[in-house]
Amino acid sequence: MARVGLIGNPAAGRDVRRLTGGASVVDNYAKRRVAECVLAGLTAVTDPPDVRVMPDRAGIAEHARDESPEAVDVTVLEMPAEGSADDTRRAAARFREDDDVAAVVVLGGDGTTRDVACEIGDVPIVAVSTGTNNVVPSAVDGTVAGVAAALVATGAAAPNEAIARHGMVEARAETATGERRLSALAAAELSSRSFVGTRALLDPGDLRGGVVSRAHPGDVGLAAVAGAVENVAPDDPGGIALRLADPAGASRTVRAVLAPGVTAPVGIASIERLEWNDPVRFDVADGVVGADGERELELTDATVEMRVIPDGPRLVDVDAALKAGADAGALERTDRLPATED
């Protein structure tokens, strides 16, 4: 029996960018409704897959179980819910270890999707945007995402048509106290602000550069800056390294969306196309390395090496999955509908 995992992060979409920028608020009531819609979407196929849901403290999992369609068997994973990113990582690891889980739907932003990607292995991800920094997750209706997940999980949508491998950026910092590492899904950024604070990258003037695994002017953050110069599709090899400068004195300047509700001119000192695993080094006197718009590592007198690696998550292209499933006839009902009386 095919199985779909469901991860809903209660903390996604609730950071300080809701107060300081134009990011929309996605509360937990909305996430419960999205989860409910995902389960409804699974019934588009004749034999819907069953579902395992990550537990949480906001009632998303319980609501999904209690309001699930009769045709869908929903079970909440037996694991502790601590209300941290560790919940997401533990659930992703459980889904990786379950041979019956053929797809996982993730409700969150880039941070949540990154946490899943670090533990999910080769299980395909349907990433649904309910977070703040949303370069990777799709702004797609939950019901449509559920249909795509069902088509992938049941094999109706062929992997070569519906799934693509996304790169990741690895950052390794050499410090006086040892080595520190982090992984980013779309972008690893260098900020001149020397403390993590609220974690969200808010001031465009703080951004000093970094490496992206994808680039498009319609993205957000460093990926949008790179995308204003050169496009890199999510499944293209490699990425782009950027070193930024004060736009007032830079010979090359672009305007990009750096955060929800924030556009700003950005000066580019250098931009370099990277192949897989090409190393780029940055000297950091005092600053922070971030991942996907969130500051993570405080550094002083450190050298940071970044590279784009090819073994990121397998992401489901929702539109491609729906087309592949429809072309295969998987959305045509094989059971007979009840007769209606005149």
Which domains, and CATH codes, for the chain? 3-165+313-327 (3.40.50), 168-309 (2.60.200)
Q: Which two tokens stand for residue 284?
A: 């950091």
pLDDT tens over the chain, length 342 residues: 799 999 998 876 444 444 344 455 567 888 999 999 999 999 999 999 999 999 999 999 999 999 999 999 999 999 999 988 899 999 999 999 999 999 999 999 999 999 999 999 999 999 999 866 689 998 999 999 999 999 999 999 999 999 999 999 999 998 888 899 999 999 999 998 765 444 455 566 788 999 999 999 999 999 999 999 999 999 999 999 999 999 999 989 999 998 888 899 999 999 999 999 999 999 998 999 999 988 889 998 999 999 999 999 999 999 999 999 999 999 997 666 566 555
- Structure-token match 């009769």, residue found: 70
Tally of CA atoms within 13 A in the half-sphere of 225 that contains its CB: 35
CB 277 within 8 A of CB 206: no
Q: In this structure, how many other beta carbons lie within 10 angstroms of the beta carbon of residue 264? A: 16
Predicted TM-score (pTM) above 0.75: yes
Sheet architecture: strand order including 314-316: 74-76, 50-53, 3-8, 101-108, 125-129, 314-316, 163-165
What is the DSSP code string of 73-126? -EEE--S---SSHHHHHHHHHHHHH-TTEEEEEEEE-HHHHHHHHHHHTT--EE
CB 308 within 8 A of CB 277: yes
Count of residues making up the chain = 342
Distance CA 214, CA 292 (A): 12
Distance CA 95, CA 155 (A): 18
Nearest to 11 by CA among 1, 25, 21: 25
Q: Which two tokens stand for residue 212?
A: 């992206």
Burial status of residue 123 (CB atoms within 10 A of its CB: 0-12, 13-18, 19 or more) = buried
